[in-house]
Amino acid sequence: MHVHILTDKAYETDAVDAIAEIHNAQLKLSFACYTNPDERLDALSKIEPSDSGLILYNITDWYSAGLRQLNILSGNGVPIIEVHPKNIFCESGSPLPKLNGNKVGLICGFQSRGLLTAIARLNNTKLSTTSVKTKRKVRIINGPNLNLVGQREPEIYGFDTLEDVEKSCVNIARSTDQSLEFFQSNYEGQILDWIQDSIGKIDAIILNAGALTHTSIAIHDALKAFPGKTIELHISNPHQREVFRHQSFVSLAADAVITGLGVKGYELALLSQI
């Protein structure tokens, strides 16, 4: 696959450094900075839909980023991932507006590591890991209806079951010397108990709160009380779906966000060091 990385900020040296870490002869990478909207639009128009992926790195002015061309690329099946070094939702940022197609992902809050995560997802490879001096304790919490993954709307969520996801995460945790707990509940109170119980015991929470993402101020408040790292995770990209899914109370309390990368997002969240 030819991965095109596009930014509109000339100072993105972190991106260049991150790309320099990649040593994959089968992966073709192109990195370009276009501060001029016309140049950016011209670059987008030259991307061939076949066997291409696009990463939009730290772009915040979507309306000069060539939305029309992005719609064409997405509609032609080109996977697009927007990546931001910081959590844009804690800084009043706006994600990419809804595009045609269903292969639009979002990663933010991982610094330059987010770029490596996006490249790994597009190339369908494992993210490189660094040795961890102390064994990290991670808790993955899944909310309502996640027990139906693999059965419910497979065109959106895929055919892998939550049990499949758990097995994959357990294997990754073992190989990276992480202690992992994996939970799912359809009840808000139980999720709150798991978050509160994590205080002082768990280093990081990966939370897919399901529909409670859009309604639960209680979960937001519990996460604010948790001193460890929090990653918000969604299999699909809520910002590319119905308007009522665009509001996330979890994003406002999370350190980082991964959406729209399918169930592969669980693996990438577990491997990403934040």
Confidence bin at 56 (pLDDT 50/70/90): very high
Q: What is the mean pLDDT of residues 143-162?
A: 91
| Distance (Å) of CA 48 to CA 62, 120, 199, 261 | 21, 20, 48, 21
Q: What is the mean pLDDT of residues 12-32?
A: 66
Report the distance separating Cα 215 and Cα 212, nearest Å: 5
Nearest to 41 by CA among 13, 72, 11, 14: 72
Nearest to 144 by CA among 101, 83, 189: 189
Give the contacts of 191 (CB within 8 A, at least 6 positions apart).
Answer: 141, 143, 185, 209, 212, 219
DSSP 162: H
Catalytic, out of 4, 34, 84, 157: 157
Q: What is the mean pLDDT of residues 11-23?
A: 60
Tell me what pLDDT residue 204 has.
Answer: 97
Give the contacts of 189 (CB within 8 A, at least 6 positions apart).
Answer: none
Confidence bin at 103 (pLDDT 50/70/90): confident
Tell me what pLDDT residue 274 has.
Answer: 46
Q: What is the average pLDDT value for the chain, to the nearest integer?
A: 88
Which residue has better confidence, 273 or 239? 239
Which residue has better confidence, 58 or 248? 248
- Residue 246, judged by CB atoms within 10 A of its CB (0-12, 13-18, 19+), counts as middle
Q: What is the mean pLDDT of residues 78-99?
A: 90
Is residue 246 annotated as part of the catalytic site, yes or no?
A: no
Tell me what pLDDT residue 93 has.
Answer: 81
% of residues, the chain, pLDDT over 90: 55
Place of tokens 């001193």: 227
Interhelix angle 188-198/217-225, nearest 10 degrees: 10
Report the distance separating Cα 37 and Cα 199, nearest Å: 46
Q: What is the pTM of this model?
A: 0.89
Is residue 4 annotated as part of the catalytic site, yes or no?
A: no
> Which residue type, as a one-letter code, is found at position 11?
Y
pLDDT per position as a tens digit, 163-180: 999 999 999 999 998 999
Domains of the chain listed by start with CATH number: 2-123 (3.40.50.9100), 136-271 (3.40.50.9100)
- 176 close to 132: Cβ distance less than 8 angstroms: yes
Could you give phi then psi for residue 19, rounded to 5 degrees? -65, -35
pLDDT at 12 over 80: no
Which residue has better confidence, 196 or 124? 196
Tell me what pLDDT residue 20 has.
Answer: 58
